[in-house]
Every structure is written in structure tokens, then in C-alpha cells.
Structure 1
């Protein structure tokens, strides 16, 4: 049952995509087994259909790879499809970056196939000069205005690599292969986390990749026969010594075969997605030029500061994210941040932790450490792109929600919890009736700013008599010693937690999900429960497995992971 809810839809999408690749590969392979490529296959053998099949699959995947990163298109699709599609279909839009990576891996595979086949093809083009019979005859066909020749290497006294480097296909092939290697190697998690600027700049080399791929086929090295109607290769292949000669009756039985180059196809596949992407960049540029007013800069514990901002026409949903650029720090770098304000606030805010060069530079630019931070100091210009949708937009589609945050992954739930409370106090018909919030905190000083929000929640729930609406559980995984343990024991019976000051006590260690999920299922039988997680991959796999394992015929856990 759990796999049917959380895995089967994704597997169906992947299966359709893989089937499309297999179908394209097989179709193109057999297309190049046709009679118009008969003579070229005599020279190249299986390398011809394999190389062209790989190229066709490259066209298909390069057409697809831009669509998942068109964030505005994804957000628009999410809003439009809500009226006609169920939540199982909509949840696939949350995996757009996963699909983007899968497509990139497929591009690498077919690049290797295409490149490897053409390396052998270049060797066979040159070797054909030394082969007796029809192979040398084909290679020695003259270069005429009507396109007689078939072998792009026009002399036997050369090197195939040198000849390839003289062609448009060879030069662009080398360039786009090197660009692909740079893009893929800089996309590893280590590089993205430690050297984000390297990832950002090298990833924008995709422009070079697309331009190079568009002109890659201009040399028209792959040539097909155009006069099959008068020169049947099956009949004339053994009469190559008589090609173009007249018979006794004055007729030419086998005229010289004529060939023409295959025109480039890449641009035809990718023009549509490129237009979508250019429109996407246009929207982003327009948004980045809109004025953003910094209303307030708040310094929080643990090297966290908050930017409260306002922008004309800015509307947001719970848990959405934006991209921020500070031209004073860098004219090119955009960094994603989850919105921590609620849609009901008259401003939008982000919490930024000072952990790198960029965040430290922004903190300095907005005078975080200045004692006069509340006064009218000169603040830098900030550009904002977004907001963009995430899985948390679906929180009201369930009667019971389970929010799980680990580390910095707690930020989207600051917005979500605030918005839920606003909606709870105003909308009695709201479908959502119960919220569980699990916060796995690495140490005592991490994200202390969220404690204030939870204290506020405690107060409001007590005042409204809805103390059972939210149950939150904080798990401290490290950072305590013997003295702290003694302090915890001494204050065990007090109303508030001695560490956080909250009504619900802190837990120490890691949560046991195999006990938590059955308990929730028992408390809410026959319910559809939305599980929303933001945090590291390792824990995500554990939670995904737990949702599948504990989804029975009655209670169903729908797993949703934040991705941006």
C-alpha cells in the first residue's frame, strides 16, 4: 500500500521516460539501417546506427532537461493542475530536481555512446582507403557540386583525429564534451555545499553546450544516398568498377551514387524548451529589477539574522522559497532561502545563518553587528526572485499533518506553522485538524530563534482552548554534558522545559520512527496523513521507508520532501 502511494507514480514517470529513450534508440537504429545509408554502413559498420541512435536520444533528453528548472512553469503547473489532478499526480512536481538529475545522467550515457561510436567511425573512414574493393572505391569518389563524395576524409595520408579537428562536428564535439564534464563534476554534493560559486558558474556553461550542440551537425559528415531510384546499392555494389559507364545500348546501368549531408536536428528538438527557458529568465530578470524594501534586520542567536522585506505585488504561500541576490556582494550569485513569514503577514522574511563567505558578506552589508541596526542606516540593494512553490502548499489537503525538520530544514515550517495558526483561527471549516511537529536539533544553540515562535504557539493555543491542535517534539541529538543532565533531572517535574522554556519537554537522542508512526496511525485510523520533511537525504530515506511500511489498508502516509 505504501509503495503504491509514494513510489509507484514516480516509477511510472521514470518508466515512461526510459521507454521513450529505448524507443527512440531502437527507431533511430533501424532508420539508419535503410537503403539510403547502405554505402555508409559498408564503411562504418554498426558504428553508424549506434552513433545516430545515441544522438537522437541526446536530442530527446536535452529537450527535457530545461523544463524541470523552469520554476515559474512548475509553479504555474501546480496551481493549474490542482483543479483536475489528485495529490498523487501533483506530488510528482516536487521531484523536478530529481528528474533533472536523472536526465543529466542519461545525457552523459548517450554522450559516451555517441562519442565512442564516432571515434571508431573516424578510424574506419581512414582505413577504408587501404581496403580493397568497394570500400576504397567509395572513399575515392570525387568531390563535386552535386555531392558525390561520402567520406569526409579526402586523403589517406593523414590522421583521423587531425581530420576530425578540422571539422565543425569535431571542434564542437570536443567543446561540448568538456563542458558536460565540467558541469557534471561541479554538480556533486561536495562542490555544491562547499563551493557553491563554482557550481553556479560552471552550470551556466549549459549555454555553451546548447550553442555547440546546435551547430554540431552543420558539417553534415553523415551522408545519405539521394539517387537510390537509379542506383540501387544492392544491385550496383558489386559493379563498382562500372559505375558511370555506358552499356552497349548507351544507357548507364549504375550511375555514380550521389550523396547529401544530414542537416542538424538538435535545434528542432530544443527550440521549444529554450523559448520557455528564455521566458523564465525574462520573468526572473523583471522580478530582480523590482524594488525591495528592507523593513527590519533582526539579529538572532547562533549567528542567524532575519531580513524582513516588502515588495510590491509579492504574494506567497506557506513554506515557499525565494532566491536572493545582493549586488553589493556579487552581481551574479543567487541563493535560495525558505520564507519564514506567513502569507498573512504584511511583510516577507528569511532567516540567514552566517556559514559562508556570501552570507557573512551580506550580514556585514546589512549591519547585523551594528548597535544601530534598528536605525536608518544605509542598507544595500536586495534583489528577490520568486516565490516558488514547494510540497508544503499541500498541507491543507490532509486532515492530519506530520512535519519533520532536521537542522536548517526547520525554516520552512516556521512559515507553515504561522500560516496554519492564522487559518485555524479564521476558518472553522478547515480540513486540517491535527498537526505533529518533530524537530531534530543538533545542539542547544542551533536555531534558538524558532523557540520564540513555539512559545507564542503555546500561549495562543492555551488562550483559545485548542491545546491539542499542535503537538511538537524537540529532539536534541548532541551538545549536553553531566552538569546539564543533572539540571534536567532536578527540573523534571516543572511545568516548562528547563532547556527551551517550552511547555513540551525536550527529548534526548534520535526519534524512533518505528514507534512514532504506528502511534500516529493508531490515533488516527482510516485517515490520509501528510508527512512533510525537510532535511538530509539519509533521514529522508528512513522516513520514506517508514511511510511505506506503516501505510496499511486504513491509515495512509503520503510522503512529501522539500526540494529547492
Structure 2
């Protein structure tokens, strides 16, 4: 039970509250339009279930569209993280899942959009069919009420033999509905994982169609084609609904109808203002001058940018967005900060793996060796820093850092900050730090290997090697015979033949179950934070192991945290 409470309960609590609100909004709105007397005649024309379904799904669309912008307000989330440091950690950790919640909201919007579109297809078909009916049928009388701005009309379709599709495009609701549906399709399809990973610019640009989506959403209901009866006192349904031939005589006045004003703006006003303030704040922050004070070339096509910016401060594990106008005025790329808060600069390590990074390396004169004069450096804009789960590494009794390949980058700042605090007798609750680095070949990230060597040297000088345990797993670039020879050589040496560390490199992929079993035995009764940055498959495995090895009887807890960018 403790495993579920630790890692799953807060997330499911948030999701449960959200789902319950959606269900309550849907049911209340559905019953209102299915049973209310003022919509009786509209139900006669459209069908009660389709009308109620369309309006109920519209209400849920307003609610979820109101929320969907908030999880992507990076500055707001970072501010909340900093402001609620005294909040219970399980609730604080939900701020690390904002992108996941953003995706859930998008799924819910898609579901209710499908219901809304499907229901209105039935509605327009029924409205069109009502125009074809003749005789004493009540639909015939309702469809022929006069059409005027303040008149009694209820059926927006006026032609005698209508085509539902053509009639749809004669209304503001129809045209705007098609536009926002197309926007939604483009946004969702370009958000798939393969597009995000392989064509990030396409994902970034198409995602900004959300502006068109929101504008269409706001004007969707201005035509007020969903009309309610406004004179129930002069036209009581109990005595008049079955006598259309008596309308306008005696006690049955001709039914009067009025449009239902759109209230979408009321739902979207606050989040849109918050998002606008967020974008302005990020624009102002991003346009502040950044000075490149040093460019360091590392092995394996990695270079380090050391920068300074007035008023800049960051916590360990945070990341920034960098824009280089000389390359593109629209592209912002995320990079994890590798400097510690105590440094008088902030830095990022960039691997040259694409057109943008190659162009940046050229502009920074990386291949020319010596650092060029500041005026020769390109202008850079930096937005951030923004918070991540890694900020909480130092808040646990024990922390386990698991990085795959370049996923080890977020932990560089954490290691530096932890060692600095320890050396300067600053209060740190962290008792032990485990680093697991799973990489195809260490040469790809030799800069991080150098950091580990330097850190290990300092720890051995102060006789504090027990604070940090490093486990490196090399998954490629060797065969069984080479691994056997290296291991035999390592037995006679205190240094690892591959990394030069005292901690020996292991070959192959780690077997995580015995690793977690050993961690649970060595840190019984302690709260252990597990921090991961890497592929989804391994994330699932580690998450399950954190749940399995958390024990209620001895209060051993493994709290799982994953990096999200």
C-alpha cells in the first residue's frame, strides 16, 4: 500500500478530481437540455439526446480548454514550485507532470469534440428533415415560424429542400466549427512522438495553431443558433404543445424564442490573460543581454558555453531555452544547465548533432581553438531557468540518479552543487548519492567523465568517498573477449581501464531488480528519491521497481521522479 500512496496516489487524486468534474459538468448540462421546458420545442426538432449530448460536451470543452494553457506556462510553474517549497512533497511532485496533464487535457478535448461533432451532425440532419415535413406535424409549424433578428424562429435552416452540409456552412457555428476541428486535427497529429523527435520544428510551428483554435472557439457560439423558448408564461407547454393550430389564439400565444449567448469568453478570459502575461514575461526575460564569457571545446563533438546575464540565478537541475537570432528568430532549444548555483557563470554543454547545433558551433568559432573576442561571439537570447524534478535531489535521505547517454546531463549541476554545499558546511539532508550511468560509449560524453574524475579526486583528498557511488554501464563498442581482458586487467589496478575512475565500469545492461534489492537493504527505513532521464521503456521498469521495493513495515520508500522537458 505504501508504494501506491508514495508514487501513485497524488497523481490519481488529481486525475480523479478532474474526471469527476468532467462527469458532473456533463451530466448536469445533459439533464438541463434533456428535461428543461424552455428547450422542449428545440428537442422536438433535433432529438432530445443529440441536443443534450452536444451541449453537455460543449460545456466540458469549455472547462478543459480553460485548463490546457496553464500546464505549459513554464514561468508560472517554476514560480509555483519556488513558492510551495513547504508544501507536501507528493503534491509538489505533481508540478513535474504538467506536460503529462497537458496531454490528458488534449485527449479529453478530442473525446468531447468527437461527441460534439457527432451530436450536431444528427441535429443538422434532423433540422433539415423538419423543413421537408408538411401537414399538421408540429415540426412543420416550428420550422415555418418567421425569421427575423427578434422574431420567433427556432429552425435556422430556411430552405424547403435543404442539403445539411451546405446549410452547415451558412452558419458562423458551422464554419468556425470546421476551422477549429481542422486546427485540432493538425495539432494532435503533429504532436505524436515520432514527429516531436524527428521533426521538432514542425511540431513547434503547428502547435501554435492553437491561437486560431482559441479564436474560433470564442466566436463559435456568437450566431446563437441554439434557441430557447422565452414566453413560457404566455405559452404553457401543458396546454399548447399538442395544439399548434391554436397558436396565436386564446391562451396559446405564438412561441417566442431567443438565442443562448455564448459564454466561452468567460471560461477562457483568465487563462488567456495568464498565458499572455507569461509570454510577455518570457519575451522580456529572453531579450535581456547575454554575454558569452568562454567557449570550451570538449572531446566527441561537445562544446561548452559559459555565459553571464544580469540577475540570472538557477537551482541545480534546471534548464534554459536558447535562441540564436543569426540562425533563426523563431527557434528556441532547451538545454540543461551544467553549472552549479555557486558558479559566477551559467553553462550548458551542447553536442553537435544537428543543423542548429552545427551552425551555433561555427558562429562560436569552436573549431578555431582559442576563445575569440566577445564582439565576435553571436548574440544569444536565454529564457529561463525553468524547474524540473531534479531540483529535489538534495531533499531526500538518499538519491539515486539514473541517466541514459545524454540523459546524464541534468545531474552535472546536482553533483557540483552537492559537493559545494558539503565542503562549505551548508545544511544538506542527503546522506548518500548513487549515480547509474548507462551509455553506449563513454567517449560520447567525456566531459562528464572528466567531471566525475575531478569530483572523485576531491572526495578522496577529503576522505569522503562514501558520499557518492558511481556505476557506469557500457552497452556497446566492445565484444565478450575485450570485456574479459579489460576485467582481468582491472583486477590488478585500482583505476578503471576505460574511465580512469576508482569505480569499475561494467559491461552490458544493468539488472535493475538486484540493484534495487541491494539499495533497499542498505538504506532500510530511509526515503530514497529515484531520478531518471532517458527512454520511456526503462522509465516504466524503474517506476515499477520503486513501487515494489517500497515497504510499509520498515518505512522504506522509493519515490520515483522523471525528467520532463
TM-score for both structures, normalised by structure 1 = 0.97
Matched, 1:464 2:466: no
Is the CA contact 1:183–1:205 (under 8 Å) kept in the aligned structure 2? yes
Q: Tell me the equivalent position of 1:223.
A: 227
Q: 1:145 to 1:170 in 2, by over 3 A?
A: closer
Q: Does 1:419 align with 2:417?
A: yes
Q: How many Å separate the matches in 2 of 1:265 and 1:160?
A: 26
Which residue of 2 is the match for residue 42 of structure 1?
Answer: 44
Which residue number in structure 2 is paired with residue 249 of structure 1? none
Do 1:444 and 1:479's aligned partners in 2 also have CA atoms closer than 8 Å? no
Partner SS, residue 468 of structure 1: helix
Secondary structure of 2:443's partner?
Answer: coil
Q: Is the 8 Å Cα contact of residues 319 and 335 (structure 2) preserved in structure 1?
A: yes
Work out the CA distance in 1 between the residues paired with 2:40 and 2:282.
50
Does structure 2 retain, via aligned residues, the 8 Å contact 1:529–1:556?
A: yes
What's 2:557 paired with?
Answer: 556
Cα distance, 1:489–1:377 mapped onto 2, change above 3 Å:
farther
Matched, 1:101 2:109: no
What SS does structure 2 have at the residue aligned with 1:445?
A: helix
Alignment CA distance shift 1:498-1:171 (3 Å): same
The CA deviation at 1:298 is 1.5
Given candidates 109, 118, 121, the residue that maps to 1:119 is: 121
**Separation in 2, partners of 1:137, 1:420:** 79
Give the corresponding residue for 1:169.
173
Q: Please give the secondary structure, in 2, of the residue aligned with 1:199.
A: helix
Please give the alpha-carbon distance, in whole angstroms, between the structure 1 residues aligned to 2:149 and 2:112.
Answer: 34
Whole-angstrom CA distance in 1 between matches of 2:416 and 2:141: 79
1:384 aligned counterpart, secondary structure: strand
Q: CA deviation at 1:428?
A: 5.4
Q: How far apart are 1:269 and its partner, in Å? A: 0.4
Structure 2 residue aligned with 1:69: 72
In 2, Cα distance between equivalents of 1:336 and 1:530: 24
Distance in structure 2 (CA, Å) of the matches to 1:459 and 1:145: 83
| CA positional deviation for 1:373 | 3.8
Aligned length: 557
Deviation at 1:146, TM superposition (A): 2.6
Offset of residue 371 of structure 1? 3.1
- 1:51 aligned onto 2:50: no
Pair 1:12 & 2:35 matched: no
1:532 aligns with 2:531: yes
Q: Which runs of 5+ in 2 are unaligned?
A: none
Q: Displacement, 1:510?
A: 1.3
The alignment partner of 2:445 has SS state of coil
Name the structure 1 match of 2:398.
400
Change beyond 3 A, Cα 1:484–1:557 = closer
Structure 1: gaps (5+ residues): 246-251
Q: Secondary structure of 1:505's partner?
A: coil
Deviation at 1:321, TM superposition (A): 0.6
Write the distance in 1 (CA, Å) between the matches of 2:531 and 2:272: 33
Measure, in 2, the Cα distance between the counterparts of 1:217 and 1:291.
45
Matches within 5 A, 1:381-530: 381-427=379-425, 429-481=427-479, 482-483=481-482, 485-530=484-529
1:397-448 CA distance string (max 9 Å, x none): 2111111111111111001100000011112542111111111112242211
Task: Specify the alignment match of 1:80 in structure 2.
Answer: 83
Change (3 A) 1:164 1:92: same
Equivalent residue of 2:466, what SS? coil
Say whether residues 1:244 and 2:248 are aligned partners: yes
Contact 1:404 1:438 in 2 (8 A): yes
Stretch moving more, 229-238 or 318-327: 229-238
Instruction: Quote the offset at 1:488 in angstroms.
Output: 4.3
1:320 aligned partner: 318
The counterpart of 1:129, out of the listed 121, 128, 131, is 131
Is the 1:354–1:360 Cα contact (8 Å) retained in structure 2? yes
Deviation at 1:376, TM superposition (A): 4.8
CA shift, 1:222, in A, is: 0.6
Q: 1:380 to 1:99 in 2, by over 3 A?
A: same
Query: Secondary structure of the residue that 2:294 maps to in structure 1?
Result: strand
Which sits farther off after the overlay, 254-263 or 97-106? Answer: 254-263
Shift of 1:507: 0.7
The CA distance in 2 between the partners of 1:451 and 1:444, in whole Å, is 7
Q: RMSD of the alignment, in Å?
A: 1.3
Match of 1:278 in 2: 276
Cα distance in 1 for residues equivalent to 2:468 and 2:260: 65
Q: SS in structure 2 opposite 1:563?
A: coil
- Show the counterpart of 1:191: 195
Provide the C-alpha distance between the structure 1 equivalents of 2:393 and 2:9, rounded to a whole number of angstroms: 21
- SS state of the match for residue 231, structure 1? coil
TM-score, with length taken from structure 2: 0.96
Separation (CA, whole Å) in 2 of partners of 1:26 and 1:461: 63
